[in-house]
Chains A and B, each alone.
Chain A
Amino acid sequence: MSVPAIRLTGLRKSFGAVDAVAGVDLEIADGEFFSMLGPSGSGKTTVLRMIAGFELPTAGTVALAGRDVSRLAPFERDVNTVFQDYALFPHLSVVENVEYGLKVRRVPRRERRDRAVRALHSVQLHGFESRKPAAMSGGQRQRVALARALVNRPKVLLLDEPLGALDLKLREQMQVELKAIQREVGITFVFVTHDQDEALTMSDRVAVFDAGRIVQVGTPEEVYERPASRFVADFVGTSNVFAGELARALVGRDGTFAIRPEKVDISAEGVPGVVAEVIYAGPVTRYLVDLDAGARMVVVEQNRRPGRERGQRVRLDWHDEHVIEIPFSGKDGSDAH
């Protein structure tokens, strides 16, 4: 493997007595679309801010393309950031916002105007050059912020929950566009999000954060299909987790196991239970089933046949290969639901 675009070694950040980041080691390859996923307060944004240089690490190093930049100021690092609130300069027009970085780096006037206009073109904002940010919609501001970062041709683009403020439709559209832009420019994207769908659909690899640490790194498929801990199984998607006696009853051995709701069939054979709740969600229906063995399971079924009703007795079945054994980790414990 060549030199990674980003290498984090033993990275820590404390704010007073609180460890926001408690030891992160990570390598992100050149050209990768890498997501940092976790609940709020899990340290993912702080890690991003340390890569950008807005926060200095309490311990550990940040290396960009093999060069240690841990102590350098943001303006000395070859990365650009798309901020959660976009952080567009309100007193400058759209094109002036986009050419700000080029102007600071003393790119000649004509060239920088050319590049700024082209960057706006690539995010479908031609014709908006002389507008003020205040006169644009959230989605348009988002694109300006993206153009303003990309026009500098950074080695790494950092995105701090950039789609958080957009409505669902626009967000889905921007997910596709971001992915396309990333493939086109071929630079490394580091994308911070708390939305697991977003992380799974866009990323080459995902790091799942919990309490200031990375608990799992892998492709979206790996993280979803083989969660490394109970936390990951719960946070990424929905899981039916069983441990202890329940595990012995349902799986036949000791340990902690998880099975995804869409991998469970309601069929003629299998474990008996009662439908406790029916949640209709358009293409699928979600059933909460109380098993006679004493656990509640979530089952997702496509709406291709008549649904079940509350109180109906059903049997649940699944294939053994879909049962995920979760490795024991002290913190997760083996407490049963």
Chain B
Amino acid sequence: MRRYLRLAALLSAPLLWLVVAYLGSLAVLLVSAFWTVNGFTGGVVREFSLANFRTILTEEVYRNVTLRSVGVAASVTVICVVLAVPMAYFMAKVASRRSRPWLVIAILTPLWASYLVKAYAWRVLLAPGGPLESLFGVTAGYGLPATVLVLAYMWLPYMILPIHAGLERLPDSLLEASADLGARAGRTFRAVVLPIIVPSIFAGSIFTFSLSLGDYITVQIVGGKTQLIGNLVYANIGAANNLPFAAAIACIPVLIMVIYLVAVRRSGALEEL
């Protein structure tokens, strides 16, 4: 009996948080997505209606923004994988043992800097006539490519860290065994390293994908006129004052992430988180 009391005391605070703050807000989101707004008074009509979802599914602009957002999230994820795998490999297997902790710190420090400061720094970098243009002669300017670029920069550490952790767990003897059996470095990488770190890559992609899918600030700062799902949610909360419709739109990334998580679950990625 005392054991249960102690267990209850231990878990009550986190459970309360989980149920009220976490699941509660999600439930409110889901419920309010089925409400509407009175066109004249602007007041919320608390009656069940599928009108919001009908609008989202029938009007082309929402489909385009959804596809664009998924495209941005996917591109950001691919760029992060391409950059993170060799970087994590260097950190975990090639660099000298003494320098390894410093490299991890170097990857982590940008996360301490303010998100807004980094986004505005990129705005300055990308500006016409700015540092990028004077250095290389070209700049991505503001728009969709700039959004992908800056988001990839923002979320790269979230991809490097799980891959790095996966590679650290990979014993050096596996690489030696592969070489011993006649495989060159490239072959060893393809046949041994890559298959073993696939779950770690998926784990990282859950971060980069969901963070990109929910972003609306970077795109406002460097995206020019580009609109992503987050911008639509923001616009409906603010200017349009249509909270139920904002909630309905916010269900799109939630649904996409659920589909994505179910899809990568089989790879064992969720055990890597």
Contact = CB atoms under 8 A, between A and B. Distances in A.
Contact of B176 (A79, A81, A88, A149): A81
B180 interface: yes
22 contacts: A52-B180, A53-B180, A54-B179, A74-B179, A75-B181, A75-B182, A75-B183, A75-B184, A79-B180, A83-B176, A85-B173, A87-B171, A87-B176, A89-B178, A91-B195, A91-B196, A100-B183, A101-B181, A104-B183, A148-B181, A152-B181, A152-B182
A133 to B, nearest CB: 11
B196 A81 contact: no
A105 B184 CA distance: 11
From B182, B192, B195, residue with most partner A Cβ within 10 Å:
B182
Contacts of B192: 89
A87 B179 contact: no
A81 B195 CA distance: 23
Interface string B166-180: 000001011011111
Nearest to A99: B181
Contact of A90 (B176, B184, B196): B196
Interface in A1-52: 52
A220 to B, nearest CB: 28
Interface string A252-281: 000000000000000000000000000000
A53 B179 CA distance: 9
A89 B184 CA distance: 16
Contact-size category for B: 10 to 19
A47 to B, nearest CB: 16
Nearest to A52: B180
Q: Main SS of chain A's interface residues?
A: loop
A166 interface: no
A73 interface: yes
B180 A74 contact: yes
Contacts of B195: 91
Given A74-B176, A75-B179, 12 more contacts: A52-B176, A54-B180, A75-B182, A75-B183, A79-B180, A80-B180, A83-B173, A85-B173, A89-B196, A91-B195, A105-B182, A148-B181
B93 to A, nearest CB: 14
Interface in B178-211: 178-184, 187, 191-192, 195-196
Contact-size category for A: 20 to 34
B4 to A, nearest CB: 36
Contacts of B191: 100, 104
Interface of A: 52-54, 73-75, 79-81, 83-85, 87-91, 100-101, 104-105, 148-149, 152
Contact of B178 (A84, A100, A152): A100
A105 B178 CA distance: 12
Contact of A87 (B177, B182, B196): B177
A50 B195 CA distance: 29
A50 B249 CA distance: 63
A302 to B, nearest CB: 43
A106 to B, nearest CB: 10
Nearest to B195: A91
B171 to A, nearest CB: 6
A81 B178 contact: no
Contacts of A152: 181-182
A81 B182 CA distance: 11
A130 B176 CA distance: 24
A81 B180 CA distance: 7
A52 B173 CA distance: 12
A91 B191 CA distance: 10
A100 B180 contact: no
A54 B174 CA distance: 12
Contacts of B179: 53-54, 73-75
Given A89-B192, A90-B196, A91-B196, A100 B181 contact: yes
